[in-house]
Structure 1
């Protein structure tokens, strides 16, 4: 069973402990300030997307989806952390845990346009909806049963994205990465590769998960440092040939540009296949990528939910030939 992902929902903050994925655990726990990026009300259901890409329903919207009064959802929130757990709260938490989550609070409080909003992340919404659809005994709601059949799995997330017009794959997210590519794609000398141009798979999944790739999230530095150490520790010069240096440059929008050009390592093309195996087996699945994400989350540079999505996408081997 997966370890629980902890959604620690305090006012304007969210903390998540991501699950074990393919036997590898990311302990990505920290805080990240959130805002409402998109919101709206459709067919009486208030919904939106937070600045880290988290889809949510507001309290009245969740109540309408479950076919109960708004006060019932409010009571779930107010009784959530009571020492003597009510059966209803215990049942909802059990459903949430079965999906790999736990929550200190079921909602996030965010002030938006001068109003306080109670935002219930989609995972919490589905757990409450499932309770009223299946586990509420005499209080099972037909409206909840109908909506749970329609929205189970990822369908609620997709519905919210669609209704508020949020595109998690917007091409604008690639602009900063493309700036660096334009400066460096031909930098390494003939016969050599550099980590920057080989980090595309990792960077792409981070961007698709919603990460802001810029001066604070430069994952190729992390990859490069670990690969350089691996290269020297295993004396790969003797196997593939000597590595060399090349001038790497950052865009003017990055503070690193003040020391351009950066004197960076590049490696013989003969070692490219070995590098790709190392990237998947050691860096990604060996926990180094998870440690990098944990550090970024703890500093507030990356949303925990983004870290979870990225590591989940990369946990299945995608680099190099199939074995």
Structure 2
């Protein structure tokens, strides 16, 4: 699964995906997942493109084969031009007991673009509906359209990056004595990221990426034996976050004795090796503006004292 659609495989194990809200607008079914991903259902996508749903079912459920055929090659090329190399075009979710496929906005736009500009060249397909919808969404991105349609305003100035950070910090400021959380320990890094233009919000939660990667490091290095066992503690998201519907999420917290290890790992391992890829993926999604990752890295890394002889 490509990280531009969903969190990494490890993150998916931490976060069960489900729709926090799903509605229908002009016959197009859409929603937002609890990880912040806007999506269309198969019915919504087929209506958007003006194509029979059976055609798209064959394309998307057999994607590994279809992407090697003329239609699939063009759509795959569109996805790859955005930095997306997908082995699957949807995730399976359950809503009110009914299993359905959720197609992320990036996939929907690539398929819509194909039916707007390419499909009619191969036969008698009428591309009028797809073309009109594509033109409309070119000025009003699908991501923004879905957010606004389900009642989540991505540009509310009172809920910008600073407000988001303050709310999450207030909700999760109390840690049990003797433990630290990845989110609270990242506070200074988060502040520096926001200062450089990072759009800290429901669709860009860097502490998930850091937490999952640090957790793997903790387990692989058997740090329970060195510092004591980590434990779970509830993390709360603001009410206006899609993730809030899941309620408090049990996340790992770590013994204070491991703070030095965590800080060294952040500076020497995560920031130089994982952080640039995370930032680039969020920029491709449109969750944050495109930034110079090398420059950002120099701004968020802590300075080191000069060697004294």
TM range (shorter): 0.5 to 0.7
- Larger strand percent: 1
Contact map agreement 2:20 2:32 (CA 8 A) in 1: yes
Q: Match of 2:238?
A: none
TM-score (norm 1): 0.56
Higher relative contact order (CA 8 A, sep 6+): 1
Q: Classify the secondary structure of the residue corresponding to 1:6.
A: coil
Conserved 8 A contact 2:42-2:101: yes
How many Å apart are 1:313 and its aligned residue? 5.0
Change (3 A) 1:212 1:145: closer
Q: Deviations over 1:216-259 (max 9, x none)?
A: 9579x9xxxxxxxxxxxxxxxxxxxxxxxxxxxxx997976975
Aligned pair 1:144/2:144, yes or no?
no
1:65 alignment partner, one of 48, 53, 64: 48
Query: What 5-or-longer segments of structure 1 have no aligned partner?
Result: 17-28, 184-193, 222-250, 265-281, 298-303
8 A contact 1:40–1:46 mirrored in 2: yes
2:169 to 173, 177, 196: 177
Bigger Rg, structure 1 or 2: 1
Structure ranking higher in helix proportion: 2
Residue pairs, 1:111-190, within 5 angstroms: 111-136=94-119, 137=121, 138=123, 139-152=125-138, 155-168=141-154, 170=159, 171=163, 174-178=166-170
**Within 2, Cα distance between the matches of 1:195 and 1:39?**
33
Partner Cα distance (2:145, 2:288) in 1: 21
Q: Judging changes above 3 Å, is the alpha-carbon distance between structure 1 residues 197 and 95 closer, same or farther for their aligned structure 2 residues?
A: closer
Aligned to 2:303: none
Which of residues 192, 208, 214 is equivalent to 1:201? 192
Offset of residue 201 of structure 1: 2.4
SS of the residue 1:128 aligns to: helix
Secondary structure (helix, strand or coil) at the match of 2:200 reads helix
Which ranges of structure 2 fall in alignment gaps of 5 or more residues?
Answer: 176-184, 215-232, 236-250, 301-309
Q: Aligned pair count?
A: 237
Which deviates more from structure 2 when the two are superposed, residues 61-70 or residues 309-318? Answer: 309-318
